[in-house]
Amino acid sequence: MPCSRYIDNIDFGNIDLGNIDFGNIDFGTIDLRNSEVINSANYLFWEDAVTMTEFIDADEAAGRLGIKKATLYAYVSRGQLTRQKAVDGRHSLFDSDEVDALSRGRRRPLRGELGIAIESGITRVHLDHFGFRGQAIDTLVDRPFTEVAMHIWALDGPSRLPAVPPALSEQVAAVRDGFAADAFFIDRLRAAVPLAASSDPFRSDLSKPAVVGAGQLIIATMLASLPPQRSAKKTADVAEQLWVRLSPRKPREADIAALNTALVVLIDHGLATSTFAARVAASVRGDAYSVVVAGLGAVGGVLHGAASSQVHRLFQRANELGSGTSAVGEILRRGELVPGFGHAVYKAGDPRFTLLDNRVRKAFGSDPRFAHIGEIHAAVATRSRVLPNIDFALGALTYLSDMPADAGEAIFALSRTAGWLAHALEEYDEEPMRFRPQARYVGPVELDT
């Protein structure tokens, strides 16, 4: 903790400091090295520390970050910067190292972007790695998706999904058969959740065991909402059950391992847009089904859960042209970005891509179509120095598995359902209705008549 007692403008030149305990004293303006008074309170001693922390004022901090002072204080309110009060009690000071670290890692905010910071113990995303609840992701990818879901839900108990009750199963089958054959998978998943909710008389129970039980039923019902293309073993895990609904191919062990890896690495990734929507629903004490409906409403689209569909189509085009670079060239001539590359957080490479790409290579490395994927990867990474992200690997999985282009969106949504519910469980422990942003009216002013 910063020191609480201040000594200001004292000359220690003739004082013996040998027997004085300075552990809890803040020497805001004193330079004990040569007894000269520092002009501004820019240094703080910390208990048991042997070095000083340099503090800078708001003008310098804003200058280093290239922002206005109002934005600087917005960073403080979001938890991105720590502010200390100067000795005079009127001015603000900022840790120069913290400011510089933020400057190095700060991306330019989008026009009109709203920033918010929420404490969470689920997923740590840091530099070039991430993990769930203190476990690195590479230690979890070999575990079944349902086990990892239980891990992020922080609950001991059976991880296997329950059987969908017969009455609910009949309802789901009727709705499933009522969709057009080419309906998007995400629409089928969205229709499944209200059906599951209507079958649960205890849906308003927000205790952890009840929410986890509801989550397991939701995922099982979502799976049942997708028409199977072949049968799966009754003991099949989620990856195999999902495979037979998305791909016409008979699954091999390596195929299931690749799909399970995709499900695991996509479970959560901090406060993504859909996750924030889910937490807002939980903050007003929406039940598990309402939370998932909120997440499903925000996850659709090529800017979030369906990003891999564009990658899938890029690979299809490369196969049609017989050249990966030609397919990339078409995109660039249209003035578009090549999908599946770059990430706002991971500058040294998306670890989720690496994990899934390894599994995709093991399963499909001998497929002739894989050459075009490697060609695109090498061309973009070499020329633009931009690395592939998880959407690139997910698009490769769905393409090489002969799944429809929108299959990646279904994989993403089903996996992220577990993450949304983990965030809901955290949010239920917070004060309700804490997300109350203000609207600033910018329309025309009514005229008196």
We report the CATH number of the domain holding residue 298 as: 1.10.580.10
**Residue 370 shares a structural domain with residue 417:** no
- Containing 175, the helix (H) or strand (E) segment is helix 166-178
Q: Is residue 110 part of a domain?
A: no
**Domain that includes residue 96, residue range:** 5-105
**Radius of gyration in angstroms for the set of CA atoms belonging to the chain, rounded to a whole number:** 27
Side-chain-side CA neighbours of residue 254 (13 Å): 13
What gap in Å lies between CA 192 and CA 123, rounded to an integer? 27
Q: Is residue 212 part of a domain?
A: yes
**Residue 129 shares a structural domain with residue 252:** yes
Positions annotated as catalytic residues are: 304, 343, 391
> How many structural domains compose the chain?
3
Q: Is residue 264 part of a domain?
A: yes
What gap in Å lies between CA 126 and CA 124, rounded to an integer? 6
pLDDT tops 90 at residue 96: no
**Residue 257 shares a structural domain with residue 128:** yes
**Residue 298 shares a structural domain with residue 318:** no
- Of 55-59, 119-123, 133-137, 354-358, the one with minimum mean pLDDT is 55-59
What gap in Å lies between CA 125 and CA 36, rounded to an integer? 44
Find, among 251, 152, 146, 229, the residue nearest to 185 by Cα. 229
What gap in Å lies between CA 252 and CA 306, rounded to an integer? 25
Q: Is residue 439 part of a domain?
A: no
Pairwise pLDDT comparison (341 vs 345), residue with the higher score:
341
**Residue 335 shares a structural domain with residue 323:** yes
**Residue 370 shares a structural domain with residue 250:** no
**Residue 385 shares a structural domain with residue 423:** no
**Residue 301 shares a structural domain with residue 311:** no
Do 37 and 9 touch, CB atoms closer than 8 A?
A: yes
**Residue 316 shares a structural domain with residue 232:** no
Domain with residue 317: its CATH number is: 1.10.230.10
**pTM of model > 0.75:** yes
What gap in Å lies between CA 73 and CA 405, rounded to an integer? 44
Q: Of 53, 76, 105, which residue sits at a domain end?
A: 105
Q: Is residue 60 part of a domain?
A: yes
Q: Of 381, 400, 419, which residue sits at a domain end?
A: 400
Mean pLDDT of the chain, nearest integer: 85
Q: Is residue 277 part of a domain?
A: yes
E-strand stretches of 158-296: none
Q: Of 72, 105, 138, which residue sits at a domain end?
A: 105
- Of 109-113, 180-184, 357-361, 372-376, the one with minimum mean pLDDT is 109-113
**What pLDDT sits at residue 108?**
52
**Residue 139 shares a structural domain with residue 255:** yes
Alpha helices in 343-388 (DSSP H): 351-364, 370-384
pLDDT tops 60 at residue 30: no
**Residue 387 shares a structural domain with residue 410:** no
